[in-house]
């Protein structure tokens, strides 16, 4: 059988990760917001329909934590294999995402550490200053490490690990209109 181009799930292309990293590099600054819990597919569609709906959601259910650092994301995906004497079987796929946040006050640093210790599900939204791009990391349990303090502000690395598809866990929104239907 000849080699065939793989069929990727709808809405996903092989260049998505490269495009995401490229787009992040084009924006000056992203503010990062945290909320407790997880957003459903329906909520994602309505919240990210416009800059107005994002602002409403952020004011109601999220807290601004800080800004993304210069090199904000580190992502890794590993597949475990079950090895027997004669066979090697594919196992689960584990995804690890690390986000580096700067400019965090001591109060917010302590809050994030408390959420980490309690294994609370948190959702992070990184929103560009011009509000046309957003990165959502949805409903994950996080570990928190902090380093460095300058003028009372901290740098924190928050890391999550999850199994399976990333389709509703890590979502990139581009060219968000000012108003719904625009």
State the Cα–Cα distance between residues 167 and 9, nearest whole angstrom: 9
| Residue 137 to residue 173: CA distance in whole angstroms | 11
Under DSSP, the state recorded for 164 is: S
Beta carbons of 100 and 69 less than 8 angstroms apart: yes
- What is the spatial distance between Cα 54 and Cα 57, in angstroms, rounded to a whole number? 5
In order along its 182 residues, the chain shows pLDDT tens digits of 455 555 555 554 555 555 555 555 554 578 999 999 999 988 988 999 999 999 999 999 999 998 887 777 777 777 777 677 777 666 677 888 888 889 888 888 888 888 877 678 899 999 998 888 898 998 888 888 887 777 888 888 888 888 777 777 888 888 889 876 55
Assigned architecture for domain 28-173: Irregular (4.10)
What confidence score (pLDDT) does residue 20 get?
Answer: 54
| DSSP string covering 61-102 | H-EEEEEEEEEEEEEEEEEEEEE-SS-EEEEEEEEEEEEEEE
Strands 63-83 and 170-173: unpaired
Q: What is the pTM of this model?
A: 0.75
In this prediction, residue 71 carries a pLDDT of 73
Q: Of 11, 62, 7, which is closest to residue 39 (Cα–Cα)?
A: 62
According to the model, what pLDDT value does residue 61 have?
Answer: 92
Domain ranges across the chain = 28-173
- What DSSP letter does each residue of 17-59 carry, written as one string? HHHHHHHHHHSS-EEEEEEES---HHHHHHHTT-HHHHHHHHH
């Amino acid at each position: 059988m000849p080699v065939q181009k793989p069929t990727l799930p709808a809405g996903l292309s092989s260049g998505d990760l490269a495009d995401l990293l490229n787009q992040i590099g084009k924006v000056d600054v992203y503010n990062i917001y945290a909320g407790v819990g997880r957003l459903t597919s329906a909520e994602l569609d309505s919240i990210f329909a416009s800059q107005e709906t994002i602002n409403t959601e952020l004011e109601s259910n999220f807290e601004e934590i800080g800004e993304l650092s210069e090199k904000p994301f580190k992502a890794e995906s590993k597949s475990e294999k079950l090895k027997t004497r004669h066979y090697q079987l594919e196992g689960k796929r584990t995804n690890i995402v690390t986000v580096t946040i700067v400019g965090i006050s001591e109060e917010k640093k302590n809050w994030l550490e408390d959420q980490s210790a309690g294994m609370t599900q948190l959702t992070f939204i990184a929103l560009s200053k011009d509000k046309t791009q957003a990165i959502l990391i949805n409903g994950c349990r996080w570990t928190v490490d902090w380093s460095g303090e300058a003028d009372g502000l901290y740098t924190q690395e928050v890391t999550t690990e999850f199994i399976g598809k990333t389709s509703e866990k890590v979502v990139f929104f581009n060219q968000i209109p000012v108003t719904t239907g625009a």
